[in-house]
Amino acid sequence: MPAVAKTTDAAVVAAARTLVERVGADGLSMQAVASAVGVRAPSLYKRFPDRGALIDAVAEAAVADLHAALAAADRAARTPAEALAAMARAYRAFARRSPKGYGLLFTDRGAHAAPAVDSRAAAVAPVLARLSGLVGEQHALSAARLLTAWLHGFVSMELAGAFRLGGDIDDAFAFGLTVLLDGITHWRSA
Amino acid sequence: MPAVAKTTDAAVVAAARTLVERVGADGLSMQAVASAVGVRAPSLYKRFPDRGALIDAVAEAAVADLHAALAAADRAARTPAEALAAMARAYRAFARRSPKGYGLLFTDRGAHAAPAVDSRAAAVAPVLARLSGLVGEQHALSAARLLTAWLHGFVSMELAGAFRLGGDIDDAFAFGLTVLLDGITHWRSA
DNA sequence: ACCTGAACACCGTTCAAGT
DNA sequence: ACCTGAACACCGTTCAAGT
């Protein structure tokens, strides 16, 4: 009757995150996760219905970290423009720190993508809020889509090694950020 | 000695592309590809060293199609600004037409990503060329990175279902394109 | 030259049995 | 309650043998 628990949900997710960063989500095996927490693979199915659900949990943990990083950058800034620039840099820093975990956020994983959708919106909520203060509620959504699309595109291309034609990538990031924030701020009517 | 070939490399890649669009690259099985071309799985290894190489070939075919779509849009336009807008729309249209194939282009697939890198640069070369005419060679690379990052980010977020807060997505695309092209065109010094 | 069945290794998942 | 070994299904890959 006792059957003491050898691990916890949180420990399993933490081990899975570490492994995902090392071998990628595709390469994640239930055996490897199990042995990392001192258990056999079948035991994991008492905690997660299947491998996809475990990867979902990894994605949720990653998006929560991203949210925390953005919120911290937001709090440390004074003006809306400073806050947006700081959040953009924090966003890129997060993606570079957790490239595989970041890659999970915007990958369509079929049925298993559903849970991350709301968290994703919550994670970038501070960006939307600052843009509302800058360009008004009406334009904030379009502006947020412009800024987050560029951010996501930039960092995922950077992570995929798609910037091959030379030039400094930090400069390209700063250039893009300046043009975008200027464009968003000064954009007038249709 | 005869052993007549039952299929061709091109037919295998075409079957693999169709299957990838249906089940995703992760779900692509060698058996399914083989049976689609009327052959048994082991025969595929005479044509491609392994499953990853076959997926590479799918990615190469997709990037070639993207290049063709961009080049066609470029040819049909008169001014640089028109050409850039037309290429942006063609880019998005391609991604919507071949979402899984598009997804292969900027996914880091480890050792197997290498071959697609040069093709990827070639595919967006028309964009770089038009930007050179618009803002000069010095700024063309930064401008291209800004534009392609936004394009990639926008379409991959759209495909991942990341635009959930309402509003028209076509409008958001048009808005982003306008702000970016204006920003790039009118951007002055540092 | 290209094709095949058989075999192997590996992995996700289930389940009956342990404590 | 949670853990386990054993078993099953499925798939990538190899290989010896066919034509």
CB A30 within 8 A of CB A43: no
Q: What is the mean pLDDT of residues B10-33?
A: 97
Record the pTM. Answer: 0.94
Q: Which two tokens stand for residue B2?
A: 């005869």
pLDDT per residue as tens digits for the range B129-166: 999 988 888 889 999 999 999 999 999 999 998 998 88
CB B94 within 8 A of CB B65: yes
Q: Of A110, A157, A161, which is closest to B149 when you measure between CB atoms?
A: A157
Chain D bases near protein CB atoms (7 A cut-off): 1-6, 10-16, 18-19
- Residue the block writes with tokens 């037409």: B97
Residue A171 C-beta-side C-alpha neighbours within 13 Å: 9
Interface residue of A51, A107, A150, A188 to substitute, partner B, most B CBs within 10 Å: A150
Distance A10 CA to C17 C1' (A): 28
Q: How far is B170 from A40, CA to CA, in rounded Å?
A: 49
Q: Of B121, B150, B161, which is closest to A108 when you measure between CB atoms?
A: B161
- Residue the block writes with tokens 């640069």: B121
Q: How far is B125 from B70, CA to CA, in rounded Å?
A: 9
- Per DSSP, the three-state class of A190 is coil
Residue-level pLDDT at B118: 82
Q: What is the mean pLDDT of residues B15-44?
A: 97
- Residue the block writes with tokens 């959504």: A141
Q: Which two tokens stand for residue B167?
A: 């509003």
CA gyration radius for chain A? 19
Residue nearest to nucleotide C10 (CA to C1'): A29
Residue-level pLDDT at B189: 42
pLDDT per residue as tens digits for the range A69-98: 999 999 999 999 999 999 999 999 999 999
Residue nearest to nucleotide D1 (CA to C1'): A3
Q: Describe chain B by its helix, strand, coil percentages, rounded to 5.
A: 75, 0, 25
Chain B nearest-CA distance from A78, in A, is 23
Q: How far is B85 from A115, CA to CA, in rounded Å?
A: 35
**Strand D and B165 CB separated by under 7 Å:** no
**Strand D and B3 CB separated by under 7 Å:** yes
Distance A34 CA to D2 C1' (A): 14
Is A154 close to B149, i.e. CB distance below 8 A? yes
Q: Which two tokens stand for residue A59?
A: 């994605």
**Strand D and A3 CB separated by under 7 Å:** yes
**DSSP letter for each residue of A45-110:** TTT-SSHHHHHHHHHHHHHHHHHHHHHHHHHT-SSHHHHHHHHHHHHHHHHHHSHHHHHHHTS--G
Is A175 close to B146, i.e. CB distance below 8 A? yes
Burial code (b: 16+ CB inside 10 Å, e: under 16) for B66-93 equals bbebbeebbeeeeebbebbbbbbbbbbe
Over 60: is that where the pLDDT of B188 sits? no
Write A165-170 long-range contacts (CB < 8 A, 24+): A165/B121, A165/B128, A165/B141, A166/B141, A167/B141, A167/B142, A167/B145
HEC readout, B92-139? HHHHHHCHHHHHHHCCCCHHHHHHHHHHHHHHCHHHHHHHHHHHCHHH
Q: Of A146, A159, A161, which is closest to B175 when you measure between CB atoms?
A: A146
Residue-level pLDDT at B2: 62
**Strand D and A119 CB separated by under 7 Å:** no
* Average predicted confidence (pLDDT) for chain B: 92
Q: How far is B70 from B47, CA to CA, in rounded Å?
A: 30
Chain A nearest-CA distance from B1, in A, is 41
Residue-level pLDDT at A189: 42
Residue-level pLDDT at A74: 98
Over 70: is that where the pLDDT of B170 sits? yes
State which residues of chain A have pLDDT below 50: 189-190
Is A167 close to B26, i.e. CB distance below 8 A? no
pLDDT per residue as tens digits for the range B30-72: 999 999 999 999 999 999 999 999 999 999 999 999 999 999 9
Is B24 close to A110, i.e. CB distance below 8 A? yes
